[in-house]
A and B are shown apart, each in its own frame.
Chain A
Amino acid sequence: MLTLTHVSKNFGKFTAVHDISLSIPPGEIFGFLGPNGAGKTTTIKLIAGLMKPSEGSITIDGHDVHRDPVQAKQRLAYIPDEPYLYEKMTGRECLELIGNLRNISTATIRQRINQLVDLFGIDQYLDQYTEDYSHGTRQKFVFASAFLTRPALLLIDEPLVGLDPQHAHLVKTVLRQIATDNQVTIFMSTHTLSVAQEICDRIGIIHEGKLVACGNLQELQQLAHDRDGDLEELYLKLTGNLHRESLVW
């Protein structure tokens, strides 16, 4: 479903993403881990077509994101790390706009909105301007906008930031369900290692722009020569410990 071939991204002399190659089949949840500034968000933006790779290519279902963007984007939905919505539009209008941009029929849009509003418990906010929403409510609307389009590939940058425990649980359950039942491919970056361990089929660890490890938990344990280590220990081994873990007060 999603293929990255020798993808690099340079900003002047700085290389944010260095020669990443990946292939993710339909129905897989791929977790993308790495420290701050490692290149996770840049990679996701490259896949979403918000940035252009300096080298390499990215295809979604055989369509190159940058040469054939309309066909590629028809298959994807993107959830950014910061859930910005148009402040002077209501949640309903934002969702209908997303539907219109994907040429979904009006009847289907309205039926799906009712379903999603019910799922996330956001019906009381639907006709308010989004500028009045809390971070968590905006995050729920962004999830709703992504699910509305029924994508084959879901790109999520930090899925659970701002969500309360109930909705974090809901999101995890729904992601697992659509991946298993509907063969939706999910590519998500996260700092929450427990989430990655809990729902991801495979995990990639990116460090200083390079994909330093990729595989399921067992494969990562082998790579780190640590058979019993949990994901946190493996992650710290692969990305390096912090220099100091105390603060002089």
Chain B
Amino acid sequence: MDRGRQMLFVPFFLIAVLFVWALYFVSLRVFGFLLDQGQVGEVLIRQTLTLTLTMIFFLTIMSTTINAISMLFRTRETEWLLAQPLPTLSIFIYKSIEISLYSSWIMLLLAGPIYSALGVVLKLSVSAALHLVLLLVLLIALASVLGVLLGLLLARLLAVSSQLGKFILLIIFLVIGMLLFMPRPQQSGLLPDMQSFTSIQIFMHDLRSSSPYLPGSWVTLSFYAQQEGNPAESCYWLLMLGSTLLMGIEVLLLAANWKYREFWWYIRSADNRQKKHRVTHMGRYPFARQMFALAEKDRKIFLRSPSQWIQTLMLLGTFTFLVFILRQVPERFAAMEALYATILTYISFMAVGYFFTTIALRFLYPALSLEGKSFWFLLAAPIQRANLLVSKLAPLLITMLGAALLVSRYVGRLLNQPAEIMQLTLTATLAAVSVIVMLTFAVGTIWMNIKENDPAKLSSGIPAIITTMIIFGYLLLVVMALAVPFDSYFQALLANGYYDASLAASATSLIVGSALAADLILWFTCQHMFARKDF
């Protein structure tokens, strides 16, 4: 590691530690506040726990699936291992453990401070805390096993035809389109009488934040059964989780023993079967030829790389899921109740932020590393290094901002946001996405690793994880800046009072101004480091 990178690593690491501490502190305050609200707070904590556990479960499955497809079938290391005199099953087990660790440690790192804070607020005994840790580990292990199994099957399925990926993508687009234009379900009658404390409590308790068929709920059920002095039920849900995990491992090992090597050969030979030796030329460009040629190169390599395709499919699938969830929000939630409207706007902002963070980490962060050992091709060409960066960054930045504009407008429409709030959220989303893009790109450039050609592995490295933490911290700051005008707007709406629009203008100026400053600093740092880099 060169001196510049060493110097940057220390503040970078400190920021990560600060983030973990801040997450713990904020969680402590939020859980403490909720608990102070009496029984409604307790119900809310329980619902939040179930919701976050379900999210962690699905995100771990998604991340593990992406990593499994690439690490089980596409990496050179696996190819080398399979050529060694080792049992295939041993290689599969070793790779599966590696995949699981790669895919889940960010979840443990993020979940750690939140659940530690929960434990402190609920004043858990040591045995109760250990019980919760055990449940969490089992949940993530189960998600990892399912993710590897799904990866095994999906990789085989996608190898059937080179057109299948495109076909699945088309279906996802159709589903998104259908969700976009379908009328919303009418659920306005669901909300309770907001003046009655008991009806709110019953309503909150009955609100479906997960399904009892999902393992995330089993963790909550086991944990709360123990808290409520019901060890038999607690054991029942713990055993349910444990036995499902054991069954998952058994199925995975059976499938691997039976089919892994066969699948590997099928998938590797599929690459050759599906190749068409057509004459393809680079485009003719009347101006800015270098820039257009570089952009065309990136586009071709992206579209021809199966691992990038699979990542795109999974992310679009997640987006469809997000749209589906947002469509379930009752319309009265968004339009009538100030508290719910504010919370929903925050949640939607964070969800959109999370979505773009994932995209940026998967596609922007490894952008320069994936040039790999072929980078000499560009570095020895008569083109300024800064222009190389611009040619990489510009198309990605424009695409991300365009997508952010569309997603933010759509989510705002789904939640029936008032024009003022939608405008504010849109501006904040665009500013935040620009920072997300610049930060991931800058960190990916500074900590470039041209020896690693697996995008999934690159996105799971330490710098990528720390970047995620910084982005989440930044999104929290943006939410805090949005809180003042949001609260003012909804309070005014509730009381039919005066709304001070200058608050929104101040928040917008603060968010946009700081985002532009951050973007410029990141750009110049990244450019400076890249110009000095040895290859």
Contacts and interface: CB of A to CB of B under 8 A. Distances in A.
Main secondary structure of the interface of A (DSSP, over half): mixed
Contacts of A85: 374, 377
B300 A88 contact: yes
Nearest to A107: B284
Contact of B301 (A50, A89, A96, A98): A89
Contacts of A49: 379-380
Nearest to B275: A129
B380 A128 contact: no
Contacts of A50: 376, 379-380, 534-535
B277 interface: yes
B123 interface: no
A100 interface: yes
Which of B272, B301, B372, B534 has the most A CB atoms < 10 Å from its CB?
B534
Contacts of A127: 277-280
A62 B467 CA distance: 43
Interface of A: 45, 48-52, 69-74, 76-78, 80, 82, 84-90, 92-94, 96-98, 100-103, 106, 127-129, 132, 145
21 contacts: A49-B380, A50-B376, A51-B535, A52-B534, A69-B382, A69-B385, A77-B380, A84-B374, A85-B374, A85-B377, A86-B377, A88-B304, A92-B279, A93-B297, A98-B381, A100-B289, A101-B294, A101-B383, A102-B382, A127-B280, A145-B377
B384 A97 contact: no
Interface of B: 272, 275, 277-282, 284-285, 289-290, 292-294, 297, 300-301, 304-305, 372-374, 376-385, 532, 534-535
A101 B293 contact: yes
Given A50-B379, A50-B380, A101-B378, A86 B297 contact: yes
Contacts of A88: 300-301, 304-305
B380 A48 contact: yes
Contacts of B378: 101
A151 to B, nearest CB: 10
Given A85-B374, A86-B374, A101-B293, A92 B381 contact: no
B269 to A, nearest CB: 13
Given A97-B297, A127-B280, A128-B277, 7 more contacts: A48-B379, A48-B380, A51-B535, A52-B532, A101-B382, A101-B383, A132-B272
A2 to B, nearest CB: 15
Shortest 8 CB-CB contacts between residues of A and residues of B: A100-B293, A73-B382, A96-B282, A78-B380, A84-B373, A88-B304, A51-B534, A101-B381
Contacts of A132: 272, 275
A101 B295 CA distance: 12
Contacts of B376: 48, 50, 78, 80, 84
B377 A97 contact: yes
A50 B533 CA distance: 8
A70 B280 contact: no
A96 B382 contact: no
A171 B216 CA distance: 65
Given A69-B384, A73-B381, A92-B280, A128 B275 contact: yes
Nearest to A47: B380
B289 to A, nearest CB: 5
Contact of A101 (B275, B290, B300, B532): B290
Contacts of A98: 377, 381
A132 B279 CA distance: 16
Contact of A93 (B281, B284, B290): B281
Contacts of A73: 380-383
A13 to B, nearest CB: 12
Given A127-B277, A129-B275, A93 B282 contact: yes
B289 A103 contact: yes
Contacts of B301: 86, 88-89
